[in-house]
Amino acid sequence: MFQYVLTSGNTYKFQCLLCMLKYTEYSTYRNSPSNLKKHVDRVHPSQIDAYDNLAACARKRKLDNTGIGGAAKKLKQQRITSPASAAAERLFSCARLTMNSRRTSMTDSLFENLVLLKKNKCLL
């Protein structure tokens, strides 16, 4: 799934073998491969189970999903990683671009109106 490329201090770089068309390199901290998991979750969602199995085998302590805590953790992960619609993602992106460092004292209603106008300017 990933191929080791190099080490720089506490950071490791890996190449994604699933991205066949382009060379994609991801860095991760020594104790936290979360960047790799995020990449698999966003770009290759059909491979997330294979990644989880691979990561569980690599850990010293395997995931315990049989207990109450493990079930609650798994449920929380399912809620967090549920895919959002493309329209909602575009709206959040537009809102992020609207709210910048020069507009920090903006009221909530003005912010909502600006985002509404920006997304619906084709209707004006």
Domain ranges in the chain are 2-80, 86-123
Tell me, what's the pLDDT at 54? 77
**pTM over 0.75, yes/no:** no
Rg (CA), the chain: 20
The answer to whether 110 and 118 are in contact (CB under 8 A) is: no
Residue-wise pLDDT for 1-49, tens only, equals 777 788 888 888 888 888 877 777 888 877 777 888 888 888 888 888 8
For residue 29, give the DSSP letter. Answer: E
Helix axes 34-43, 48-58, angle to 10 degrees: 160
Ramachandran region, residue 80 (left: φ > 0; alpha: ψ -120 to 50; beta: rest): alpha
Calculate the average pLDDT of the chain.
76
Please give the C-alpha separations between residue 93 and each of 37, 86, 90, 97, 117, in angstroms, as whole numbers: 22, 10, 5, 6, 14
Tokens at residue 107, please? 């009221």
